[in-house]
Structure 1
Amino acid sequence: MTTDFQHARIALGQRLRELRAEGGLTGRQLADLLCWTQSKVSKLETGRQTATHDDLKAWAEAVGQPRTAAELSARLRSFESGTRSWRRQLAAGHKPVQDTLTAEHDRSHFLRAWEGAMIVGMLQTADYARHIFSAYVDLHRSPRDIDDAVRARIQRQESLYRSGKQYHILMWESALRALVCPPPVMAAQLDRLAGVIGLDTVSLGIVPFEASLKLPAANGFWIHDERLVIVEDWHAELWLDQPENVSLYLRVWETLAASAVYGADAHRVITRCRRALGDL
């Protein structure tokens, strides 16, 4: 995933180097023309820095080939669309990100999820979600639109009760035990989770600590209708729609699903996690 992004950035850098050479300019001469540092030119050409669309337009004009600006921007858009950095996404806060995800849920019918670190957003209580958003606002130093983001997330949960939707959600037991919020909030969250079991639109699987795992319980992801995978990492969201990537994540999900328990057995795992919090 990240490797694909880096390969695309290196390829763009090679194209920039070709254009500079065709224009008969050294890196220093181009930097002087653009009023940039020579290190910026070097980083763009070697794929160690991501160009902006303005950078690409300026480069094309400086090397005397302004018509190539559209080609360069198209290259940039092709790998930007797959890797959506949190820095850019959260510039206007968390609510726009939630709205984008809601639109994707609305156009999807069969959704699979895996999460090993926290309760899946579609099953979060408002109080639990508030603590999660607060933590990420602090991490990314993004605008504090926490209440708006919580409302958007809770509103998206209405699709859990729509006919024609199917949610197959897997979580590792660690997600049920991680105290990313005060214990009373976690207790209420686990009560909510237990109440989801039995919904017609939801299949909830829990992978217990004692289960044998054929794969490590890595980062969380969603699969939408076998056409799109959304993977969350610390620096970015990855939106993957290439068939080979979707097939890979389907295999990962199916492998993890084989280690999960469901129904009454899942309820027992939730109950023991709830008991571990004491009488709250």
Structure 2
Amino acid sequence: MTTLTRRGRRADTGKNADKRPDGEEDSSKDLGEEDSDSKDIRLTLMEEVLLLGLKDKEGYTSFWNDCISSGLRGGILIELAMRGRIHLEPPTIRKRRLLDRKVLLKSDTPTGDILLDETLKHIKATEPAETVQTWIELLTGETWNPFKLQYQLRNVRERVAKNLVEKGILTTEKQNFLLFDMTTHPVTNTTEKQRLVKKLQESVLDRWVNDPHRMDRRTLALLVLAHSSDVLENVFSTLADDKYEVAMSRSKDLLELDPEVEGGKAQAMEMIWAVLAAFNKS
């Protein structure tokens, strides 16, 4: 589980640094047309999370970050829900909590994204259905059941990075780390990353509405995923101290809301709150 930290743990950007309810979205809006800031490049939530976590020049995420892998899997579930492919089963007397309700298939129409479609096939083929928390564990490979290791999505970080390379945002290089060579993906389109960072900064500063249900859903989802992936600090690290404190305080207030309460409100997107609840419990 990640935690919101203060300026003392501010991200180092130098060379030696580390580090409407589900299904109501129109599935034709496959790349999140709520986000009108970027009209030329459409990124998935997974691509945005990885981009926020990458060191621009070095092209890799912090070696100390052990949260981003599961965060990317949570992003896959939210992305599929936003595209109208999956949703949570309706609440019942026995299953009211978000984490008790199963993920159900709504449409198996391919999205065109390999990772999303691979996950969609797993969800379609699984009987009985699984919960959000279980799916995050299965897709990450964190399961003791050898019969369910087949659900693990492998090389997710590298595959998402390759998508960003194809979209002209990253490039591919090789770096030597004494005992081994590692493929890295430095940022080449800094404008796109800066746009993404600015959008998140403004969402908790100039455009702050103090109500998650009035926020753009993709922005809300990205804030949740950035926190769950332990890369939210990267978003605010360039702010002046006074604005940094405001951004951290408002983010903390938002991310410490009760997912069960917020997910039960009218027009709430349950999958976002279910993913937050899963990471809060882990």
Same fold (TM over 0.5): no
Give the structure with the larger helix fraction. 1
Q: Which has the higher contact order (CA 8 A, sep 6+)?
A: 2
Give the structure with the larger strand fraction. 1
TM-score interval, normalised by the smaller of the two chains: under 0.3
* Superposition TM-score, scaled by structure 2 size: 0.26
* Superposition TM-score, scaled by structure 1 size: 0.26
Rg bigger for which structure?
1
